[in-house]
A and B are shown apart, each in its own frame.
Chain A
Amino acid sequence: MTWRDAITLARRSVGRRGGRAVLTVLAVALGSALLSSLLIASGAAKQRVLDQVTAGGPLSGIKVDAAAPTPVALDTDNPRPGPPRRIDDAALQKISQLRDVTSVLPIIATPMVVVPPPVLPAAAHSSHQDNGPIFDSAIGVDLSRVNQLPIAIVAGRLPDPGSQTEIAVTVDFLQRIGVTNTNAKAIVGTQVTMGAPRLFNSGIGRRSRVRWTHAQIVGVVSQDAGDGLYVVSLELARAARAWSTAGAPIDALGPSPSQYSTLFVVAHGLNNVTGVRAEINTVGYSTSAPESLITQVQRYVHVVELVLAGIGLIGLAIAALGISNAMLAAIRERRREIGVLKAVGAADRDVRRIFLVEAGTLGFAGGTIGAATGLLVARSLAAVVNGYLASQDLQTVHLGVPIALLAAVVVGATVLALAAGTLPAIRAARMPARQAIGDE
């Protein structure tokens, strides 16, 4: 019997026992869907987390301080900076041109006074009766490239790029005004008065003057881009700094003399972080990066990936047992048919081939349906996750169609079904031909 004839016969046999075939295919499809969706999801998580880490992103960013490096700068993730050293456009340009540097984002920290409204919204449930002006730093960042910065939205949104009237406040700011994180949403939309201070010398000594402006809190963030309670556009911070530095000589309370307080450098992959840090040190700046943390994250993500694949494989193994069970039951029911096949000339290998092809057909059908379902499930999950990521102004996950993975699931399900069908097929092949004819 040729394979082609065996396939034709197996297809007809599967079609004749539609109910059982559907249930068996569903079992395989379920296992395959579980495996493929978990693998796709873990692959996407890997892409979203590990690739951000290893191919460049906020987690693999290197902070360049406006300070010279110390001799042991590369020995720790957060070394103590050396003497102050200004970061200007020339330094930014020089660091941008270093090998394995993907991008460099300037950060401007400048003094800022924010006066909360006398009465906060009731929904904020502030524990403070009266909030006075809060003096701290505003962190100016390029809001068009915020995906590359370690800034996460807690509520609301980030200010529009270039905005002079929108600010985001940090969760630390909430604590300063007596609002808990759970009520963060309540203060979004609140109008505040903010101003950049300028020191000047007068006849009676050094005094400060603030250029006030009205602004709106558009969001609450958690950020690690710099030390400050406010996140603003780079343009707003630049203007505020220019105002502040135009006054009397800078002192400890004033803005940094450096044009940029920090540079955030994204290296091309985690493997290059150490090398890029060394090069930046050579240029003359102190750096810090959470390298050891990221390495551990990589390991954990890999473990999660293995666990998810294991769960999927268990699902597929259960489906394989289902195939084996269904085939054994079918053989018990089809003893007469097997006998007839042998009576009309089928050898043991022909019967074995027919039943193996049947098992393979069920596995292939289940694997194909399962892979397609798995892709749909993964896409549905991705849509939910992307909705959340988009609400946080974060880069969304792109799943695509992982053809190789889906093909591997189909092939795997077929091979597993063949393996599960081997014992029943051998048992069918060994059945005596006399089953064709009833005993007297």
Chain B
Amino acid sequence: MLDGIDFDVDAGSVVAITGVSGSGKTTLLSVLGGLDRPQGGAVTVGGQDLSTLDRDRTARYRREVVGFVFQDFGLLGQLTALENVELALTFERVSRRRRRARARELLTGVGLADRLGHRPRALSGGEKQRVAIARALANEPRLVLADEPTGNLDAASTAIVLEMLMQVPARHGSTVIVVTHDDAVAGLADRTLHLVDGQIAAP
């Protein structure tokens, strides 16, 4: 449950949202990403009020404006790494050749050029999350939303994934909002919002 949350995020920054379980972090992320609809109030992202969008326009918003990185990666097991990244462009009706080139470029960028044809079950946790980051960036989103992106990773993989997420604004121009329990993650962000019982606590 969120209650009276009102905040602005600078474009091209990294914002960490922290809080204990049940504080509303993930709900906030869902609302920002158009996965959920607020029961009241307005959610404005880039001047667009999400609460007024119908299902088709909300889908387009998710397709064009947002990229998601999930704690458990959210990769489709039946697709290869390359195809998982392509998937984000499939719904945009980008030609097969162009989306394949884009997916290859992104996967190379996250250091998985030699893992293009591997299915998720053949990848390590860190590699899966790098594929997920590549997929989140495929449609050149203005907003990348990451839900506990290092929650299932070991220390070494966490370091790599965090480094990549922190570089996203500089390399891709996107704003990154990261929901995390990890103070170390929050420490790397440009700004941290702490949620308590669905409200932003005073810094």
Could you list which residues of chain A lie within 8 angstroms of chain B, going by C-beta atoms?
A: 1-2, 5, 9, 12-13, 15-16, 336-337, 339-348, 350, 432-434, 436-440
Contacts and interface: CB of A to CB of B under 8 A. Distances in A.
A40 B72 CA distance: 53
11 contacts: A2-B93, A9-B90, A13-B78, A340-B74, A340-B76, A342-B59, A342-B62, A344-B87, A348-B55, A436-B74, A437-B68
Nearest to A349: B56
Contact of B35 (A1, A13, A436): A436
B30 A434 contact: yes
Given A343-B70, A345-B62, A347-B63, 9 more contacts: A16-B78, A340-B75, A343-B35, A345-B91, A347-B60, A348-B59, A433-B35, A433-B58, A437-B26
Contacts of A336: 74
B91 A344 contact: yes
A343 B36 contact: no
A437 B34 CA distance: 12
A336 B71 CA distance: 13
Interface stretch (B17-25, B41-49, B108-116, B160-168): B17-25
Contacts of A342: 35, 59, 62
B92 interface: yes
Contacts of B147: 437
Contacts of A344: 62-63, 68, 87-88, 91, 135
Interface of B: 21-27, 29-30, 33-36, 55-56, 58-60, 62-64, 68, 70-72, 74-79, 87-88, 90-93, 135, 139, 147
Contact of B24 (A5, A9, A437, A440): A440
Contacts, number: 96
Contact of A437 (B22, B35, B63, B92): B35
B108 to A, nearest CB: 20
A20 to B, nearest CB: 13
Nearest to A347: B59
A358 to B, nearest CB: 11
Q: Name, among A1, A337, A434, A437, the residue most crowded by chain B CB atoms within 10 Å (CB to CB).
A: A437
A153 B139 CA distance: 80
Contact of A347 (B56, B79, B135): B56
Contact of B91 (A13, A337, A350, A437): A350
Nearest to A334: B76
Nearest to B34: A433
Contact of B70 (A16, A346, A432, A437): A437
A439 B26 CA distance: 7
Contacts of A436: 35, 68, 70, 74
B74 A343 contact: yes
A271 to B, nearest CB: 59
B25 A440 contact: yes
Contacts of B92: 345
A431 to B, nearest CB: 11
Contacts of B63: 344-347
Contacts of B77: 16
A343 B145 CA distance: 11
A320 B15 CA distance: 51
Q: For the complex of A and B, list the 5 residue pairs with the smallest distance between their C-beta atoms, beginning with the closest.
A: A345-B63, A12-B78, A347-B59, A16-B78, A345-B91
Contacts of A13: 78
Q: Name, among A1, A342, A343, A436, the residue most crowded by chain B CB atoms within 10 Å (CB to CB).
A: A343
Contacts of B71: 438
A433 B79 CA distance: 20
A437 B29 contact: yes
B25 A432 contact: no
A343 B55 contact: no
A345 B35 contact: no
Contacts of A433: 34-36, 58-59, 62
Contacts of B26: 437-440
B195 to A, nearest CB: 10
A58 B90 CA distance: 66
Contacts of B70: 340, 343, 436-437
B125 to A, nearest CB: 17
A343 B33 contact: yes
Contacts of B25: 440
Given A345-B139, A440-B27, A1 B56 contact: no
A437 B31 CA distance: 11
Q: Name, among B29, B33, B76, the residue most crowded by chain A CB atoms within 10 Å (CB to CB).
A: B76
Contacts of B35: 339, 342-343, 432-434, 436-437
A432 B74 contact: no
A347 to B, nearest CB: 4
Contacts of B76: 337, 340-341
Given A12-B78, A348-B56, A1 B90 contact: yes
A345 B86 CA distance: 12
A347 B147 CA distance: 22
Contacts of A432: 35-36
A5 B62 CA distance: 19
Contacts of B79: 9, 12
A346 B58 CA distance: 10
A440 B62 CA distance: 21
Contacts of A15: 78
A346 B55 contact: no
A338 to B, nearest CB: 11
